[in-house]
Amino acid sequence: MLTNLLMDVAAQTTSEFPWAFALVYIAGFVAAIVGGSIAWYNSKRPPGWEGAERPDIVPDIKAEESEESKETQE
């Protein structure tokens, strides 16, 4: 009886809009905004933004120096 009830509910609630498809795009958009914001705040500032403070929510990411850049500094 419960199985029949669940099957009836599932059959009646079909929708035309692909919610899973839209959810993946929304999650990807949010991830791109967050990743881009972190990258922008950790990069060199464009002209006029040199003195801008980093928001507390953005993590500070230190770049590792490569072997080539270490050799050129010596």
Q: What is the pLDDT of residues 15-56, one digit of tens each?
A: 688 889 999 999 999 999 999 998 887 877 777 777 777 778
Task: Determine the Cα–Cα distance for residues 60 and 39; give it in Å rounded to an integer.
Answer: 10
Q: Is residue 68 part of a domain?
A: no
Q: Is residue 39 part of a domain?
A: yes
Task: Determine the Cα–Cα distance for residues 9 and 41; give it in Å rounded to an integer.
Answer: 49
The boundaries of the domain holding residue 39 are: 27-61
Residue 10: helix, strand or coil by DSSP? helix
Name the band, by pLDDT with cuts 50, 70 and 90, for residue 10: low
Q: Is residue 53 part of a domain?
A: yes
Q: Is residue 66 part of a domain?
A: no
Query: What total of structural domains would you count in the chain?
Result: 1
